[in-house]
Amino acid sequence: MTVTPLATSPFHVPRVIAHRGACASAPENTLAAFRRAHELGARWVEFDVKLTADGRPVVFHDNTLDRTTDGSGPMADTPLAALGDLDAGKWFDPDFAGELVPTLEEVLDLLVEMDLGANMELKPCPGREAETAAVALDVARGLWPTEAPPLLMSSFSRVALDTARQIAPQWPRGLLVEALTDDWRAAAQEVEAWSIHCAQDPLGPAAVAEMLDAGYRVMVYTVNDPGRALNMWDWGVHAIFTDRPEVLLPLAGT
Ligand code: G3P
Ligand code: MG
pLDDT tens-place string over residues 117-142: 999 999 999 999 999 999 999 999 99
CA distance 64 to 145: 32
Give the residue, out of 121, 220, 240, with the most ligand 1 atoms within 8 A of its beta carbon, to mutate for a pocket test. 121
Read off the pLDDT of residues 143-190 as tens digits, 9 standing for 90 and up: 999 999 999 999 999 999 999 999 999 999 999 999 999 999 999 999
Active site residue 12: no
In the chain, what are the domains?
A: 13-252 (3.20.20.190)
Closest CA to 123 of 164, 166, 63: 63
Atom of ligand 1 nearest to the CA of 241: 2
Ligand 1 center–CA 221 separation, angstroms: 7
197 counts as catalytic: no
The pLDDT score that the predictor gives to residue 138 is 97
pLDDT digits (tens, 9 = 90+) for 229-253: 999 999 999 999 999 999 999 999 8
Looking at the chain, the number of H-run helices and the number of E-run strands are 9, 9
CB 195 less than 6 A from any atom of ligand 1? no
Is residue 100 within 8 A of residue 83, CB to CB? The reply is yes
Instruction: For residue range 187-212, list pLDDT tens digits in order.
Output: 999 999 999 999 999 899 999 999 99
Beta-carbon contacts of 223 under 8 Å, excluding residues fewer than 6 positions away, are 200, 229, 232, 240, 241, 242, 248
- DSSP result, 92-144: T-GGGTT--PPBHHHHHHHHHHHT-EEEEEE-PPTT-HHHHHHHHHHHHHHHS
Rounded to whole angstroms, what are the CA distances from 237 to 15, 156, 161, 177? 8, 19, 22, 15
Q: What is the DSSP-derived secondary structure letter of residue 235?
A: H
Residue 254's pLDDT band (boundaries 50, 70, 90)?
A: low
Is 246 near ligand 1, meaning CB less than 6 Å away?
no
pLDDT digits over 75-119, tens only?
A: 999 999 999 999 999 999 999 999 999 999 999 999 999 999 999
Quick one: which ligand is closest to 154's CA? 1
Which one from 12, 61, 197, 238 is the annotated catalytic residue?
Answer: 61
pLDDT score of 3: 53
Answer whether 200 contacts ligand 1 (Cβ < 6 A): no
pTM: 0.96
Q: Which residues contact 5 (CB under 8 A, 6 or more apart)?
A: 215
- % of the chain surpassing 90 pLDDT: 93
